[in-house]
């Protein structure tokens, strides 16, 4: 019959060995084996002196903690005390029948259980260090999941919102109050056969209150479901703030935490649409803002780098429609197209009106323009085609009328010519090509033409007056 419930140093038979001093009669305490002498019944104690078993008259065994020899021992005598403890029925468990312990059971080995372990009042595993208190170990060599920990709600009437299990992380606060600092909870959402839904919730303590951190449902995963001032951050391989949700300012940022006022979405980098071609109905990018007296879309370039001069670029990357049908920009109200910039560069507006800032309050040092007669005379008006038109096989309909920038410079009107450094984009980076392209300020040419026309009208009126005088009219 197995014996359970007594510390390992106690068993059916215990031996305590002592080496006597000269004249010693009392033997007590720990022997050479390390165990302290203790017995419950003097009838179950044997005493040996130098290997000879002593009779009952040779010693006294009544105290339970010592043996007293009738005749004193000699120096270096070897005294051995053998204790046989009696068993109590309460300290034994039958393999077949089982049993119940009311007190503590201490084990230093392995407890093997085949079946269930039940507890009516809860069970606590206590350790004094930081090692694992409970380890589930599987020695199975297959590829299946394991070891497994099942948290089962064994209910005969399951229903929605039933709790399936909860893991609490508990410690005391500085007032010695037990506090649940975090918890993981599983719940039932739908118990319908074939349509079962579950829910998993992670909560943490925030400012003394348990608040939702992550709530996983069948139709959505919600972060910060309680709506607290909590930021959300996703790191990438090269950026610690690849996605950053600023909870306090209600803003979403990408690759940055630098928040600007009145910003809903700020992106440090490129926004690209990849839908296989030109946007179709319901599949395009929109910027919408219905706030009164505000800018729907604003573009700011804070860089002093001249290669970053492109504030906004609109282009056809996969095709080159040089016609009046494809639009770069189409501005319209609910009923009418108001202004259109077409892919061939033409600009149409509804009222045929073009203007520039010309208020007197904006200007100073105002004086009459000098004569533009000679400048206008020096202009050479050319008929030409753009090389891009020729390369695409365009017809004679693409003959142009205008001036050549270099010829305008040679005519002494350098102020009308702008030289631009050619830039190309590769892998999202602008770089110089080493070439330049010249442009002509046609709007100023028009004003020169108006001034020259005024001068011509003055000369014509003067000549008409002289002709009338000669005719006597």
Evaluate if residue 398 carries a pLDDT over 80: no
* pLDDT tier at 405, thresholds 50, 70, 90: very high
Could you state, in order of their start, the residue ranges of all structural domains in the chain?
14-91, 163-223, 304-364, 371-450
Looking at domain 371-450, its CATH architecture is: Orthogonal Bundle (1.10)
Q: What is the pLDDT of residues 268-287, one digit of tens each?
A: 776 665 544 444 444 455 55
Q: What is the pLDDT of residues 191-245, one digit of tens each?
A: 999 999 999 999 999 999 999 999 999 999 999 999 999 999 999 998 999 999 9
Residue 325 pLDDT: 76
How far apart CA 337 and CA 331 sit, in angstroms, is 6
Q: What is the pLDDT of residues 35-68, one digit of tens each?
A: 999 888 888 899 999 999 999 999 999 888 999 9
Percent of the chain with pLDDT over 70: 82
């Amino acid at each position: 019959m197995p014996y359970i419930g007594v510390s390992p140093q106690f068993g059916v038979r215990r031996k305590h060995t002592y080496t006597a001093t000269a004249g010693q009669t009392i033997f007590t305490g720990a022997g050479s084996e390390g165990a302290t002498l203790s017995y419950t019944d003097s009838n179950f104690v044997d005493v040996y002196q130098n290997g000879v078993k002593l009779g009952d008259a040779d010693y006294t065994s009544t105290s339970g903690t010592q043996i007293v020899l009738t005749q004193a021992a000699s120096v270096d005598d070897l005294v051995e005390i053998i204790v046989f403890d009696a068993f109590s029925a309460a300290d034994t468990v039958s393999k077949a029948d089982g049993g119940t312990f009311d007190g503590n059971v201490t084990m230093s080995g392995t407890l093997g259980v085949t079946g269930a372990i039940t507890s009516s009042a809860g069970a606590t595993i206590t350790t004094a260090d930081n090692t694992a208190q409970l380890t589930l170990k599987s020695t199975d060599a297959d590829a299946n999941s394991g070891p497994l920990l099942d948290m089962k709600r064994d209910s005969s009437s399951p229903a929605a919102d039933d709790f399936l299990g909860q893991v609490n992380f508990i410690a005391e606060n500085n007032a010695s109050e037990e506090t649940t600092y975090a918890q993981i909870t599983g719940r039932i959402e739908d118990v319908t056969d074939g349509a079962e839904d579950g829910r998993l919730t992670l909560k943490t303590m925030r400012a003394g209150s348990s608040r939702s951190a992550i709530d996983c449902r069948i139709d959505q995963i919600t972060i910060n479901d309680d709506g607290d001032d909590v930021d959300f951050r996703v790191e990438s391989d090269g950026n610690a703030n690849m996605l950053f949700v600023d909870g306090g300012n209600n803003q979403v940022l990408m690759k940055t935490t630098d928040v600007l006022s009145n910003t809903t979405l700020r992106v440090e980098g490129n926004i690209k649409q990849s839908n296989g071609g030109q946007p179709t109905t319901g599949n395009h990018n929109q910027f919408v803002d219905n706030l009164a007296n505000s800018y729907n879309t604003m573009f700011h370039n804070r860089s002093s780098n001249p290669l970053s001069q492109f504030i906004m670029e609109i282009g056809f990357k996969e095709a080159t429609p040089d016609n009046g049908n494809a639009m770069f920009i189409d501005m319209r109200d609910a009923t009418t197209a108001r202004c259109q910039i077409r892919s061939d560069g033409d600009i149409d507006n509804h009222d045929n009106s073009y203007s520039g800032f010309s208020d007197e309050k904006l200007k100073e040092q105002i004086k009459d323009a000098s004569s533009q007669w000679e400048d206008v005379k020096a202009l050479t008006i050319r008929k030409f085609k753009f090389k891009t038109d020729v390369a695409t096989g365009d017809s004679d309909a693409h003959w142009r009328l205008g001036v050549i920038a270099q010829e305008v410079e040679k005519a002494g009107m350098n102020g009308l010519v702008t030289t631009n450094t050619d830039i190309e984009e590769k892998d999202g980076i602008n770089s110089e090509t080493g070439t330049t392209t010249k442009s002509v300020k046609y709007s100023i040419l028009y004003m020169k033409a108006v001034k020259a026309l005024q001068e011509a009208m003055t000369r014509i009126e003067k000549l008409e007056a002289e002709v009338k005088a000669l005719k006597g009219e």
